[in-house]
A and B are shown apart, each in its own frame.
Chain A
Amino acid sequence: MTGLLQEPKTEPMRAPVPAAPPSRTRRTLPEDGVPALLVEHVTKQFLVGRKRKPVTAVKDISLRIRRGEIYGVLGANGSGKSTFIRLVSTLLTLDTGKVEVFGHDIERDEMAVKRLINRVSVDAAFFKKLSPFENLAYAARLYGMDPKSARQQAIAILARLGISEKRLGRPLEQMSRGMQQKVAIARALLTSPTLLLLDEPTTGLDPRSKLDVQSFIEDLRDGHDATIVLTTHDLAEADRLCDRIAIINDGRIVVEETPEALKVLVAERHGQEPTMESVFMTFTGRSLDDDLDNENDENDEG
């Protein structure tokens, strides 16, 4: 398999990440050098609905993600996770602040950044009538890859995710959500991104597919030099997969720590149970099931 599993495309001057030990908690990541993702004071506001009510989706976010890290962004619906991912994906412009991907400024060096990143969104956005192969060939060509070798890679990645080659020639709309999401992951990995943005990749999947996707991400984490930003509103998933977690509430990062440190923090300082649930409650004042999005959900036709 290739993609993320290949050698990195940039920053050759730094020492390679040491082979990761099996447990996340004892992973050592180099602190020095160019961060995989650097975000400084980024804000994004939308004007929503007929009355053009301003909604600040992302408020003054700053963070620094090291190469090889899996960084979780945990937040309720409408807390600004997707907006953050889109800002880094060049799909939204920044109102303020700056973003750098492996030292490339996202605005001045947009094309270079685009080559380094890829993204998986909640909805597996494909041409529904085209087959997985046809969709992946399109993606491969867009990224300047040879479609034939892309095909071989796609077969390998999808085999690992439990989808056989036989399924890849028929229209994608005939696949289940879980399968479509796996094809979306293959599409993202195909282009060998050095920074992979996963925006709720497991939301709405059946339990089986969810596990498949999670253990695949674990594989990427344990065996390879992958830098991943993972948004989720699944506490267990964040706990299981992420080296560090940022909890985002109303567009703001309220806390950022390793999962262990977060749990210790709520236990020691707030006298709570050392669980992710109490971590989330403590820092956001709400349960994860609250939906923040409804009051802004007017049609945005303009």
Chain B
Amino acid sequence: MTLMTRELKASFAFVERNFNLTKRYWGWEVAFLVYAVAGALAVSLIGAGQNDTRLLLTLVIGAVFWNYLSVVFSFIAETVSWERWEGTLEYTFMAPVRRYAQMLGSTLYAVIFGFVHTVVVLVVLALFFELDLSQANFGTAAVFMVLGSVSFIGIGIMTAILPLMYVERGAQMTFVLQSVLLLISGVYYSIDVLPGWMQVASNFSPATYVLDGVRAGLIDGVGTADLLRDVWPLALMGIVFIPLGLWAFGRAERYAKRTGKLKRVG
């Protein structure tokens, strides 16, 4: 019990630190937010231009939820590369903190930050367009938001290993992975339009199920109970990826300490 409280308290170190980083890098945060808003608007305007309310809603949902998921993903996946860049990685790894506490703290902040970020995008879109949400089932959207977070936290942790193992390439790999997820998950289009092999790949992206579920809920008012086809893959990915990710992270840390990948100079 005391161990648990100790680790929980330590995990707050990461929340507070990341909050301070956001504050100090506020200029960049604003710039990225503007970029996110502009991107979401640009895509949604395609739907508005077609005078197709269903298409508009499909695009808005894609933009908003992808924004949330990608922010959560990149925050977690970049915990190591960020500290590598700052030069603090060794100090964090030297501290008497368990990795799960570190991940918990990083994850908590990622979810809060992603949520706030996304609400801003959503508010701008809502001001811009008249969205027809008369049918919407918000409960479904909330459930998928939670499930999506869990599964993305899982792959975020798995991906965070790459920068640990590959000093420079790792960060590039996480970036590429995020791009691939955007492409295969049907963020702005139905996955049916993708080539066959990409459709197969899309089954492995949690975003595919999140977007399918949220769209069914918000556009057609479908309840969670009728969306089990999307619920179980997400739940499964969360249950498998989070523990697997933590385990693999531990292995990767060990590898990095054996081969001298944490830091070399100085």
Contact = CB atoms under 8 A, between A and B. Distances in A.
B9 interface: yes
Contact of B94 (A91, A128, A144, A300): A91
A63 interface: no
B95 interface: yes
Contact of A141 (B16, B25, B90): B16
B12 interface: yes
A73 B259 CA distance: 23
Tier of interface size on chain B: 35 or more
23 contacts: A46-B259, A82-B266, A89-B90, A90-B94, A90-B257, A92-B257, A92-B260, A111-B98, A117-B94, A119-B94, A121-B266, A125-B88, A125-B91, A127-B21, A127-B88, A137-B16, A139-B95, A142-B10, A300-B261, A301-B168, A302-B167, A302-B259, A302-B261
The interface centre, meaning the residue of B13, B21, B169 with most chain A CB atoms within 10 A of its CB, is B13
B87 interface: yes
B4 to A, nearest CB: 13
B21 A129 contact: yes
The interface centre, meaning the residue of A119, A123, A129, A301 with most chain B CB atoms within 10 A of its CB, is A129
A162 B94 CA distance: 27
B25 A129 contact: yes
B92 interface: yes
Nearest to B7: A144
Contacts of A121: 90, 266
Interface in B83-134: 86-88, 90-98
Contacts of A118: 94
Contacts of A89: 90, 94
B30 to A, nearest CB: 15
B257 A125 contact: no
B259 A142 contact: no
A38 to B, nearest CB: 19
Given A111-B98, A125-B87, 17 more contacts: A89-B90, A91-B262, A114-B96, A118-B94, A125-B91, A129-B25, A130-B20, A130-B21, A142-B96, A143-B95, A144-B6, A144-B10, A171-B24, A300-B261, A301-B168, A301-B169, A302-B167
B251 interface: no
Interface residues of A, number: 39
B266 A93 contact: no
B192 to A, nearest CB: 41
Contacts of A114: 94-96
B166 A302 contact: yes
B54 interface: no
Interface string A77-91: 000001100100111
A53 B266 CA distance: 21
A138 B263 CA distance: 20
Interface string A261-302: 000000000000000000000000000000000000000111
Contacts of A211: none
A300 B266 contact: no
Interface in A185-200: 187, 199
The interface centre, meaning the residue of B93, B94, B169, B261 with most chain A CB atoms within 10 A of its CB, is B94
Interface string A160-190: 0000000000010000000000000001000
A298 to B, nearest CB: 11
The interface centre, meaning the residue of A92, A126, A138, A187 with most chain B CB atoms within 10 A of its CB, is A138
Contacts of A142: 10, 13, 92, 95-97
A123 B266 contact: yes
A151 to B, nearest CB: 13
Interface in B1-36: 6, 9-10, 12-13, 16-17, 20-21, 24-25
Nearest to B98: A111
A122 interface: yes
A47 interface: yes
